Chain A
Amino acid sequence: MANANNTTDDVIVLNEEGAKFGRAMLIAGLVLIAVGVGVGLSFDTRGLKGLLHSYLIAFMYVLSLGLGLLWIVIIQHLSKARWSVVVRRVAEVLAAGLPIVCALGLGIIIPMWLHNADLYIWVDHELVQNDHLLHHKAPYLNVSFFTVRCAVYFAFWGGLSTFFLKTSVRQDETGKAELSGLMHGVSAPAMILFAITLTFASIDFLMSLDPTWFSTMFGVYYFAGCIMSGHALWALSLMWLQSHGHITTSVTAEHYQDIGKMMFGFVVFWAYVGFSQFMLIWYADIPEETHWYHWRFEEPWKQVSIALLIGHFVLPFLGLMSRWVKRKKVSLAFWCIWLLIVQYIDMFWLVYPNGEAADRVPPSALVDLTLAAGMVALFLGSAIRRAAGINLIPTKDPALSDSLAFHNI
């Protein structure tokens, strides 16, 4: 077969160096998270409240990467995409890092069980009883239902990402074309459930930080950032694999260009969603909604808001527009790293400035960044471990030859 010839020259199984790196990442991740939590509990003057905020930002950040990659896998199957077949396995492997990310969610849920209301004031039973609005929302915003919902989200995301990876790997072994049909069939209902779970997870973890605020667009806003940063991590992972001698000939500038296009598209989509949400609230000027933005337009958060506008939209919009930028690894890598940073800033901006200034905790660069680095390392380490021993490209996918021969015209 023509495709087999093309791929045999390539190293398509993770080499020893890669496997070693995966183990190192896993250990580094655990150590960094332990250090972050340790510092947060001991030296950090912000106390537990500060630690929980730092933890939530890191968690929502790494979750957005995992969900972005899971969406990428689903949409390739749903649209029966052929260009992406050769790069799809890497996305499947990365998405399969989701179970460990979901396990990190316990760090948010367990304090709730211990009646800690540092993050979510609606956990405070007494407050809820005396506050009309919180009392109204209590059937939804309560610890038991929150836990049930999280269990559903985590089971679904973990199960789905594992299903796609396992089925795809099984196709490598059996060569059955029907498995592509199975994954296509699963992808349609999976997309609907994905949309619902992602929306409500973003409402639960992020929007309910300020339980008085509401926006129907919020789920779409978080979604846009997820997909954008998922593509960025996907491209970077491919580059990392190639620089370590894997899949060097199968993956070409054509595939990078297409990933770059999607990234560009979601940079614009994020801006569209973010602008629409802001503009409509600003224009109608209803105090129940505007306070959320007021907090973000006061010093020092004003600077972060402006930085987001410029860094999350204006600069990458201009930077990613040209064709060559998306085809050259150096320039594409630059924008991938850039977008992964601004996605973090976005989560930071969503989490910290909630509530009146007196009730807030300030950021702590040390704890914030240690936890974020730790969780990303843990996520990547777990994904690389799942890549051990399996092919880095779906060798028996019926559309592989189309993907290898793919050219942007």
Chain B
Amino acid sequence: MAQITHYSQWQDAPAGDNEFAKITDAVVRVVETPRPPPAWYMAFALALSWLGILQLCIGFLFWEGIGIWGNMHPVAWGWPIVNFVFWVGIGHAGTLISAVLFLFRQNWRTAINRSAEAMTIFAVICALLFPGIHIGRPWLPYWMFPLPNQMDLWPQFRSPLAWDVFAVGTYFTVSLLFWYMGMIPDLATIRNRAKSTLRRFIYGALAMGWRGSSRQWHRYERAYLILAALATPLVLSVHSVVSFDFATAQLPGWHTTIFPPYFVAGAIFSGFAMVVTLLIPARQFFGLKGLIEMKHLDMMCRIILATGTIVGYAYAMEFFVAWYSGSHYEGFAFINRAFGPYAWAYWTMVSCNVIFPQMFWFKKIRGNLWAMMLICIVVNVGMWFERFVIIATSLHRDFLPSSWGYFIPTPFDFLVLMGSFGLFFTLFLLFCRFLPIVAIAEIKSVHPAAHGDH
């Protein structure tokens, strides 16, 4: 049954009915082709120019100071924190797909897990950018870490912001390991097919001597299971800790006990929406429609619907308890949120996150790529607004009416947010070009051809 195939001998798409060879070819072809599709160049040029704008903005920020942003009193936590929470949220889908769905034996995840994990890493990189540039003294970000020093200065361990450093840092490390380890067998496949020495050397080094022996596979499977089990609590913990940044405060609108699971559900919601947004064009341009199938996208839409509804539950619970508590300040915060100066943002959030995703109840919508793409972009907009609503509406009218204000972003706020998308897309497009977009080995294990004898 097992037939030894010499990958290096392949020139064209493999003939015959060897399904496994076709899968390998479909994925590795994206990396091997001398020229990616024109759409890739266009997207990359656009992404790279926004990355350039981001760098210029950061350069100016370091020169001029935080004043170039709209941050003010009482909304001292302006867009940088909104963007931070937004990007960390996006970075939830990958590890959920690779760890949680793996533990739940959801085999359909193999079509999307690699790209979702990559997206996770890049989203967390974008997220980590913001605390780094928001601190106001860009030469001191290492103060966030508990480094021994002669002045005996330590981070404030009682602050949730310090917990964040550890939570996001751990998540980033484990996600990176998970992603890279999962890629090793596929990197070895690219190495085996490489025609130039340089290519063979680079992919060979990345593949860390993988030969595909049964002992190596055995260890790989064990390591995968252990990493999945370790990553699962991390999926919950990262955004729970991010939610503590707000919920531990006494501020009405921030202090509510449902925040941790509510943030986690919202993060999965936005992360899945981003995965769909990226994969629909990716599968189109790189000819991967046979691997990333409509049924996989359909499953993603169902998860978006489920998590969006959980988010809706949390919005409703917050409102109900704000009234039920009888607390004057709680009540004001929520009335102000829905009917105050930021009502436009609040209702944008509610319609994007709760109302629009309800379209996914219909099978027709879950099978229509344009509708899917549109709703997923709407969800991403809505989830950005959710963080903006939580931060700006709770802060802008604090306990002292004389200090009330209205946060207005400056052009630099917009440019930095757009620039972070530039960074994200640059990284993602490079990934699409140089690394295997689909987990070749994993998708084969669930392919019907692997179970032919049953």
Contact = CB atoms under 8 A, between A and B. Distances in A.
Interface of A: 83, 132-133, 136-137, 140, 188, 192, 195-196, 199, 203, 212, 214-220, 268, 272-273, 276-277, 279-281, 283-286, 288
Interface string B46-85: 0000000000000000000000000000000000000000
A273 B240 CA distance: 10
Contacts of B233: 268
A133 B165 CA distance: 41
A217 B255 CA distance: 12
Nearest to A133: B326
A288 B255 contact: no
Contacts of A195: 313
The residue in B250, B258, B314, B361 that gathers the most chain A C-beta atoms within 10 A of its C-beta is B258
A113 B345 CA distance: 45
B250 A280 contact: no
B84 to A, nearest CB: 20
B317 A286 contact: no
A196 B325 CA distance: 19
B28 to A, nearest CB: 27
30 contacts: A83-B105, A137-B326, A140-B324, A188-B361, A192-B309, A199-B313, A203-B324, A214-B321, A214-B324, A214-B325, A216-B256, A216-B257, A216-B321, A217-B257, A217-B258, A217-B261, A220-B258, A268-B233, A272-B240, A272-B260, A276-B257, A276-B261, A279-B244, A280-B248, A280-B255, A280-B256, A283-B244, A283-B248, A285-B250, A286-B255
Nearest to A139: B323
B366 to A, nearest CB: 13
A259 B314 CA distance: 28
A209 B126 CA distance: 46
A272 B259 CA distance: 12
Interface string B159-176: 000000000000000000
A284 B326 contact: no
B2 to A, nearest CB: 19
Interface of B: 105, 233, 236, 240, 244, 247-250, 255-261, 309, 313-314, 317-318, 321, 324-327, 361
Contacts of B313: 195-196, 199
Nearest to A282: B248
Contacts of A285: 250
Nearest to A141: B324
A283 B321 CA distance: 19
Nearest to B327: A288
B144 to A, nearest CB: 20
Given A136-B326, A214-B324, A268-B233, A276 B260 contact: yes
A215 B257 contact: yes
A280 B258 CA distance: 10
A317 to B, nearest CB: 11
Contacts of A136: 326
A192 B361 CA distance: 13
A216 B250 contact: no
A284 B259 CA distance: 14
Nearest to B103: A261
B394 to A, nearest CB: 14
A279 B361 CA distance: 37
Given A215-B257, A216-B317, A272 B236 contact: yes
B258 A216 contact: yes
Contact of A280 (B244, B314, B318): B244
Nearest to A83: B105
Given A215-B321, A279-B248, 8 more contacts: A136-B326, A137-B324, A140-B324, A214-B321, A216-B314, A216-B321, A272-B260, A288-B327
B317 A277 contact: no
Contacts of B325: 214, 288
Nearest to B312: A192
Contact of A284 (B249, B318, B361): B249
A384 B230 CA distance: 40
Contacts of A218: 257
A220 B327 contact: no
A139 to B, nearest CB: 9
Contacts of B361: 188
B232 to A, nearest CB: 9
A132 B361 CA distance: 44
A284 B321 contact: no
A284 B250 contact: yes
A217 B256 CA distance: 8
B294 to A, nearest CB: 17
Closest 10 CB pairs of A and B: A216-B258, A217-B257, A283-B248, A276-B260, A214-B325, A136-B326, A277-B257, A215-B257, A216-B317, A133-B326
Contacts of A288: 325, 327
A216 B318 contact: yes
A276 B248 contact: no
Contacts of A217: 257-258, 261
Contacts of A188: 361
A65 B361 CA distance: 30
A300 to B, nearest CB: 26
A268 B255 CA distance: 23
A220 B236 CA distance: 15
Contact of B261 (A133, A196, A220): A220
Contacts of A276: 240, 257, 259-261
A213 to B, nearest CB: 9
A286 B250 contact: yes
Contacts of A284: 247-250, 255
